A and B are shown apart, each in its own frame.
Chain A
Amino acid sequence: MQFFFEVLIGGLLAGVMYSLVALGFVLIYKASGVFNFAQGAMVFFAALTYVGLQEKFGLPGWVVFLLTLGVMVLLGIAIERVVLRPLVNQPQITLFMATIGLAFFIEGFAQIIWGTEVRRLDLGIQDEPIESVMTRFDMLISSFDVTAAVVAGVLVAVLAVFFNKTRIGRALRAVADDHQAALAVGIPLKQIWAIVWSVAGFVALVAGLMWGARNGVQFALTFVALKALPVLILGGFESVLGAIVGGLIIGASEKLAEVYLGPLIGGGIEGWFAYVMALLFLLVRPEGLFGERHIDRV
């Protein structure tokens, strides 16, 4: 039983990492109805830029963080200008394919600038089991995972305040509700989109730092980010809460499946389990756990 809980908690904490990536998707989807396939590439780009700047100039962490944030904001504005603005009013599927192109572009661009080798990212957080938990409950819980969970919690709280209490946040929600109505009451749509992509860039940066510190900054980060897709299916595309809960469910079930189901059918099922789970879930409840029920019924 102890082992079960250890796996469960480990999975939940790993799920938090997925949630971090999924949050970026939700933000953009809520505000512009674009399913941003390039979020994974943005996570990768942010992490790589952070490490690259740090190596090049040797500045303290927070300065580099702010610099990278600036780069992500610029990227967000550029994306709005170059990609989204000409594609306004196109079918969603076109926008989706455009973000696939965007993902390729960013991945290639990032590696041309910063090189292709795997880099270590040190945030000064130990990736070791917490001792007090180890002695008390006899479970191995990584302090890094707990930190990630706290970061995710803070991030969600900040986003919740931002969305519900600030003027921009309210404008964002209005835009998400109805583009034309928002325009009619005088909300600057283009500006709002640039802001949303910048915020998504910020979330990508946080996710990139956590993932990069865990696995090293490398191209494989973009595949990790793909895992956010089943998380979204489970949680619902429009819900911040859904991204968190979906991430927890995917993380936990994936780890449990790997440990208990894996030996029965040959192991290595972590690669696809989340997707198949999402597939089955789609058949039962296509709008996700917390999504809005307005999927076009076929």
Chain B
Amino acid sequence: MLYREAGQFKTSYAADQQLFPILQDRIGVISLLAVAAVGVPLIASDYWLTAILIPFLVFALAALGLNILTGYAGQLSLGTAAFMAVGAFATYNFHLRVPGLPILVSFALGGVSAAAVGVLFGLPSLRIKGFYLAVATLAAQFFIPWLLVKVSWFSNNSSSGVITAQPVEILGFVFDSPVRKYLLVLVVVSVMALAAKNLVRSSVGRAWMAVRDMDVAAEVIGIRIMRTKLVAFAVSSFYCGVAGALYAYAYLGSVEPDGFNLDLSFRILFMIIIGGVGSIMGSFLGAAFITLLPIFLDIVLTDGALWLGLNLPSGMTSMAQLVVFGALIIFFLIVEPLGLARLWQIGKEKLRLWPFPH
């Protein structure tokens, strides 16, 4: 009863085309954004902001990028972290070497650089697909961090390629405290997520899905495969690049190329598998899940061991993390291949009738 679209008539084209056509969705999204923008900064402690909420949003953006490529366009990539690295380092260099460049423009340029690199490594996708492509993107994953370490120009000649993010300042307003950084990330991520939601229902997004579902059929109905795939790589890498820049500027403060390793790529891949492949919502759910799970496991294992009087060997929690991640991936692929987003959808369908039986 709560979530029922009956009686909501669309009387104009604008009403038919809006991003959230159902009133309850609009209310939900607006109240969610309001809580995130006003409520959270009032309540949340610095620990929550810096250790959970900011990384959650940054990873959600990266997962969104990967989801565009893997979920919507069907091209598997294991090089997400490398594209994030390109975004972070490009942003750093643009901001360092072009005086007076607004930081948001630097972020965008970082994203554009990542997009260019993404297209370059996406070229093999024109000839191959599936896990062949995954191996090809591994090349990006190993090559790019190496390049960023070796060419010291990228890190302004710092030792071992570490860069320290410049202070973020927009129109004289400095984003230095956790709350301010959180708000910056929130705005960027919300805008980009809404843009992505809009994009995937446009002709571009439909072309991606057509290519994903059956490339030959897509070609027959006149979709240019080459352009579609490369656009997917470009947009996806742009999102990953901006996520990388935020990772450096709002989350960690200083990053090194080796931080953008294969593990990070896998973590983001896990986010979209668990959250939901081919779903904007899923990217957020998956990012929240993967960000919270280690903290949850840590608490459970430490407290559980204390309670049982066991002495856990060091590193046990990180090993347990691997096991739980692996098991969850297999579990989700078998039981619910569409991930948490599908569960959310089922919940919404149930809410149409609930609490009445019919």
For A115, what are the chain B residues with a Cβ–Cβ distance below 8 Å?
Answer: 313
Most buried by B among A93, A94, A112, A233: A93
How far, in Å, is A246 (CB) from chain B's closest CB?
12
Known: A266-B150, A295-B128; 17 extra A-B contacts, CB below 8 A, are A92-B130, A96-B134, A97-B269, A101-B328, A104-B322, A104-B329, A105-B327, A106-B326, A107-B322, A108-B323, A268-B150, A272-B146, A275-B139, A279-B121, A279-B124, A282-B132, A296-B129
Q: Which residues B301-358 have CB closer than 8 A to chain A?
A: 313, 315-316, 319-330, 333-334, 337
Is B298 an interface position by the 8 A CB rule? no
Assess whether A108 is in contact with B129, with CB atoms less than 8 Å apart.
no
Residues on B with C-beta less than 8 A from A266 are 150-151
| A83 neighbours in B (Cβ, 8 Å) | 330, 334
A-B residue pair count with CB separations less than 8 angstroms: 140
Distance between Cα atoms of A79 and B134 in the complex (Å):
23
> In the complex, are the beta carbons of A268 and B322 less than 8 A apart?
no
Nearest CB of B to A158, in Å = 28
Scoring A102, A107, A229, A297 by chain B CB atoms within 10 A of each residue's CB, the highest score goes to: A229
Question: Is there an interface contact between B150 and A278, defined as CB atoms closer than 8 Å?
Answer: no
Cβ–Cβ contact B124 & A109, under 8 A? no
Q: Given A87-B333, A93-B76, A286-B132, do A112 and B319 touch, yes or no (CB 8 Å)?
A: yes
B126 interfacial contact with A, CB 8 Å = yes
Query: Which chain B residue shows the least CB distance to A284?
Result: B127
Say if the beta carbon of A298 comes within 8 Å of chain B. Answer: yes
A71 interface hit (Cβ, 8 Å): no
Q: Are B146 and A271 in contact (CB-based, < 8 A)?
A: yes
A-B CB proximity, top 8 nearest:
A108-B322, A105-B326, A101-B329, A104-B326, A108-B323, A275-B139, A272-B142, A279-B139
| Contact in complex: A101, B130 (CB < 8 Å) | no
Task: Indicate whether A100 reaches chain B with its CB closer than 8 angstroms.
Answer: yes
A and B contact pairs by CB, cutoff 8 A, 15 listed: A87-B334, A93-B130, A94-B333, A96-B134, A101-B273, A101-B326, A101-B333, A103-B326, A105-B323, A105-B330, A115-B313, A230-B135, A272-B142, A283-B127, A298-B126
**In the complex, what residues of A have CB within 8 A of residue B328's CB?**
101
Which residues of A sit under 8 angstroms from B337, Cβ to Cβ? 90, 94
Q: Mark A257-296, 1 if CB is under 8 A from B, else 0.
A: 0000000011011011001101100110010000000011
**Chain B positions within 8 Å of A143 at CB level:** none
Q: A275-B138, A276-B143 are in contact. Are A116 and B326 (CB under 8 A)?
A: no
Whether A101 pairs with B225 at a CB distance below 8 angstroms is no
Tell me which residues across on chain A come within 8 A of B150, comparing CB atoms. Answer: 265-266, 268
- CA separation between A65 and B232, bound complex, in Å? 49
B124 touches A101 (CB 8 A): no
Residues of B within 8 A of A124 (CB): none
- Asked if B162 is an interface residue, CB under 8 A from chain A, the answer is no
Q: Give complex CA distance A296, B129 in Å.
A: 8
Question: A298–B330 contact, CB under 8 A?
Answer: no
Interface positions of B from 137 to 174, Cβ below 8 Å from A: 138-139, 141-143, 146, 150-151
Residues 258-274 of B, flagged 1 when their CB comes within 8 A of A and 0 if not, give: 00001000100110010
Contact between B130 and A275 (Cβ–Cβ < 8 Å)?
Answer: no
On whether the beta carbons of A104 and B135 are closer than 8 Å, the reply is no
